[in-house]
Amino acid sequence: MKKRIVITGLGVVAPNGVGIPHFTEALKNGISGIRHDKQLEELQFSCQIAGQPQISEELKSQYFTELELRGFNSTGILYGVMAGMEAWNHAGLPINETPDWDSGCIFGAGTSGIDKFRESIYKIDELQTRKLGSTVVAQTMNSGVSAYLGGKIGFGNQVTTNSSACITGAEAILMAYDRIQSGQAKRILAGSTSDSGPYIWAGFDALRVCSSKFNDNPEEGSRPMSASAAGFVPGSGAGAFVVEDLESALERNATIYAEILGGNINSGGQRDGGTMTAPNSVAVQRCIKTAIENAGIYPNEIDAINGHLTATTKDSLEIENWTEALERSGSDFPYINSLKSLTGHCLSASGSIESVAAVLQLHEGFLFGNKNCSDLHPEIASLIDSSKVLLETMKSNPKIIAKASFGFGDVNACIILKKFEN
């Protein structure tokens, strides 16, 4: 018998809000976290704006000891640990003195400690190998974020890191769902993180897929679904969830923020129009349809979509794929929004941060607006009614939200989330 699986904890480190209270306020009020980046300007990037979480030394010290911070240089691990610990505390769960065999961690990353890795390369080249320090391996291994969280909380179940480009966060949630569904764990801390900085973002700037027309007006730079969209704004951060079986959540009287009805992950195989950077539309539509079937709902039950929508030329194609998969268009189409208008594209962290936004909309009863989209792209306007692309936050009571992520390598993920009803 299929188990009911729920979300009992949330954590976030986002460009427009660190911690759930600040992030929720930013969502409701359309507050952007995109700023001018002096380092990108000095390095002569075409895109000189970015979405980077603002974290003080005082805040770092709440999650890491003075000893741990000595020689620490991994923004991705920092963000992931902060978001993960917030989600765990948010769920009202204890820090374990002995391994918790029922609880595990699936926390994704695209890279780990790229600044620490660069620092290490210079030391090696300068024949200072002995000065690398004892934490260089933990900071630069891709599973560093899950290893740090595993030790801080005391997980005894699976502790691992997945990596699938921009679907990483959504994939981690669905991997957690599957592990609990199979009876191998009661709860999983799931999420994803992404490092900050030029050594992560340079490749995208070189590909000329980043916004370069709004360097003097950073908050206007990220324009998903807009006719004047000029590429994505790079971002970073982390999102986290405690995913738990309903029986366990009810036993401990936990607050339940949403239910995961199901989902799907697939690939277009880089065939039939799909490439390393472009989606196979048949695969995208198949992913959405299969997620709906797995969730046991009908397409017309979806109230809203939190899309991938990066402010590139692929936005119109994404909307077209949704209309085909749902067989809904015009005024029958669900409301749709993209968090990237407020945060930029947080790469491997995008799926988890955006899923936090989707869950908050269900739990608190609102739909956030799409910033910078007053000039809806005409190709999108020909497919769906413009009223479905909200420009400002609307009080609402969505029952079911579909969250999708698509990534390099022609990979796709879709999660169906529902407002919890006992």
- pLDDT tens, position by position, 245-278: 999 999 999 999 999 999 999 999 999 999 999 9
pLDDT confidence of residue 420: 97
Q: Do residues 100 and 217 both lie within one domain?
A: yes
Mean pLDDT of 26-50: 97
**Residue after which a domain boundary falls, among 225, 251, 277:** 251
Angstrom distance (rounded) from CA 369 to CA 341: 9
Q: State yes or no: pLDDT of 138 exceeds 90.
A: no
For position 399, what pLDDT does the model report? 98
* pLDDT tens digits, one per residue of 378-393: 999 999 999 999 999 9
What whole-number distance in Å separates Cα of residue 73 and Cα of residue 133? 12
Q: What are the pLDDT digits (tens) for 305-334?
A: 999 999 999 999 999 999 999 999 999 999
In this prediction the pTM is 0.96
Q: Give every CB contact of residue 180 below 8 A, 6+ residues apart in sequence.
A: 3, 5, 186, 187, 188, 243, 244, 245
Give per-residue pLDDT as tens, 178-201.
999 999 999 999 999 999 999 999
Number of domains in the chain: 2
pLDDT at 116 over 90: no
> Please, which pLDDT band fits residue 130 given cuts at 50, 70 and 90?
low
Helix H or strand E encompassing 353: helix 350-364
Say if 169 falls within a structural domain. yes
Does 221 have pLDDT greater than 70? yes
- CB 331, CB 385: distance < 8 Å: yes
pLDDT surpasses 90 at 141: no
Vertex 240: Cα angle to 290 and 362 (nearest 5)? 60
Residue 139: pLDDT band by 50, 70, 90 thresholds? confident
What is the C-alpha separation between 352 and 101, in angstroms, rounded?
Answer: 25
What is the model's pLDDT at position 59?
Answer: 95
Last residue of a domain, one of 251, 277, 303: 251
For 102-122, the DSSP string reads TEEEEEEES-S-HHHHHHHHH
Residue of 122 and 15 predicted with greater confidence: 15
Q: What percentage of the chain exceeds 70 in pLDDT?
A: 96
With contact defined as beta carbons under 8 Å apart, do 305 and 335 qualify? yes
Give the range among 82-86, 140-144, 148-152, 360-364 with minimum mean pLDDT: 140-144
Is 256 inside any structural domain? no
Looking at the structure, tell me whether residues 232 and 363 fall in a common domain. Answer: no
Strand (E) positions, 184-324? 187-194, 237-245, 258-267, 304-306
* Final residue belonging to a domain, choices 193, 224, 251: 251
Q: Does residue 291 register a pLDDT over 70?
A: yes
Q: How far apart are CA 249 and CA 72, in angstroms?
A: 36
Angle at 74 between CA 69 and CA 80, to 5 degrees: 95
User: What is the spatial distance between Cα 142 and Cα 110, in angstroms, rounded to a whole number?
Assistant: 8
Residue 77 to residues 96, 145, 328, 391, Cα–Cα distance (Å): 21, 5, 41, 34
What value does the mean pLDDT take over residues 388-403?
A: 97
Q: Which residue has the tokens 């990237």?
A: 340
Are 276 and 239 found together in one domain?
A: no
User: How does residue 422 score in pLDDT terms, banded at 50, 70 and 90?
Assistant: confident
Residue 122 has pLDDT above 60, yes or no: no
Please indicate, yes or no, if residue 401 is contained in any of the structural domains.
yes
Range of the domain at 395: 262-418
CATH number for 133: 3.40.47.10
pLDDT at 131 over 70: no
Contact, 51 vs 346, CB < 8 A? yes
Do 229 and 341 lie in one domain? The reply is no
Would you call 286 helix, strand, or coil by DSSP?
A: helix
- What would the DSSP string read from start to end of 30-95? T---EEE-HHHHHTT-S--EEE-----HHHHTTTS-HHHHTT---HHHHHHHHHHHHHHHHTTPPP
CA-CA-CA-CA torsion sign (170, 176, 178, 181): negative
- Check whether residue 207 and residue 295 sit in a common domain: no
Q: What is the pLDDT of residue 117?
A: 65
Same domain, yes or no, for 129 and 226? yes
Helix axis angle, 350-364 relative to 20-29, nearest 10°?
80
pLDDT band at 140 (very low <50, low <70, confident <90, very high): confident
Res 121 pLDDT > 80: no
Asked if residue 257 belongs to a domain, the reply is no
